[in-house]
Amino acid sequence: MGHETDTTLIDYASDVRAPTPTAAAEMAVPVRAELLALVQDDSARLMRAGLHQVSDRKIRLECLARGLPDLNQLVSNQRQRLDDWSERLGSSLKTGLHHRHRRLAEISGGLVSPKPQMRFGHDKLRAISLSLMRAGGRLTQRPAQNLKQTVRLLEGLSYERVLERGFALVTDKRGKAVTSVQDLSPGNDITLRLKDGAVAARVTGGEAVPVKKVKKPKTNDDKQGSFL
């Protein structure tokens, strides 16, 4: 049987099987003449396919070209329409301007000079301003008088005015006013406030002497006024 070997499993897994090395070489290296013939045949077929595609595209292009409108005719129609619109636009502008000029003249003839109205408004505003100023003066005058009277009353009731007449304000160490001898004991620290300052003092003792109350005569002196 020559050089043919036994069939193995790899022979069934491979794409091509050759019985001998010589046959494998013949299969790997085809005959030059057959290869040239195959190339020439493929070239001829490729050329025919290309010519067919070019011819088909040419026919389709001619068909599409026949379906296109005449460019010169289309441009001529559009140019004619543009000229017509330009002429109509110019006429419309002139007509519109003339109409608006006439309308403006009619409206201007019906207008009234605003100077009399402005003068009347100015006089009215001035009169209102003067009235407001007078009313404001009356409103502020009485509160000012009441305020002055209240200030005088407060000054008359202030303990500082009492200190100016020779009296003293006695306060304990907490700053609380002492109004009775019952609130003091020997050794208490006190502060005596006079009209021109304050001095510290200490209660040394002694028996408290009550002061006789003197009844003041009733008078109608109402110079200090009232808060109301």
Considering the domain boundaries, does residue 1 fall inside one? Answer: no
150/173 same-domain check:
no
Residue 220 has pLDDT above 80, yes or no: no
151/163 same-domain check:
no
Mean pLDDT of 53-82: 83
Domain extent for 180: 159-202
What pLDDT is recorded for position 1? 45
Residue 94 has pLDDT above 50, yes or no: yes
Overall number of domains in the chain: 3
Instruction: State pLDDT tens for residues 103-130.
Output: 888 887 777 777 888 888 888 898 888 8
178/150 same-domain check:
no
Tell me the two tokens of residue 16: 């091509």
More confident: 213 or 145: 145
Mean pLDDT of the chain: 77
Considering the domain boundaries, does residue 21 fall inside one? Answer: yes
Considering the domain boundaries, does residue 30 fall inside one? Answer: yes
Considering the domain boundaries, does residue 29 fall inside one? Answer: yes
- CA-based angle 204:209:213, to the nearest 5? 140
- Confidence grade of residue 47 (pLDDT, cut at 50, 70, 90): very high
Considering the domain boundaries, does residue 85 fall inside one? Answer: no
139/165 same-domain check:
no
169/153 same-domain check:
no
153/166 same-domain check:
no
- Whole-model pTM: value is 0.28
Q: How far, in Å, are 40, 81, 115, 159 from residue 108 at the CA level?
A: 97, 40, 16, 80
Considering the domain boundaries, does residue 221 fall inside one? Answer: no
Considering the domain boundaries, does residue 97 fall inside one? Answer: no
Helix, strand and coil content of the chain, in percent to the nearest 5, comes to 60, 5, 30
Considering the domain boundaries, does residue 184 fall inside one? Answer: yes
Residue in 157, 141, 138, 140 with CA at minimum distance from that of residue 225: 157
Q: Which residues pair with 194 in a beta bridge?
A: 197
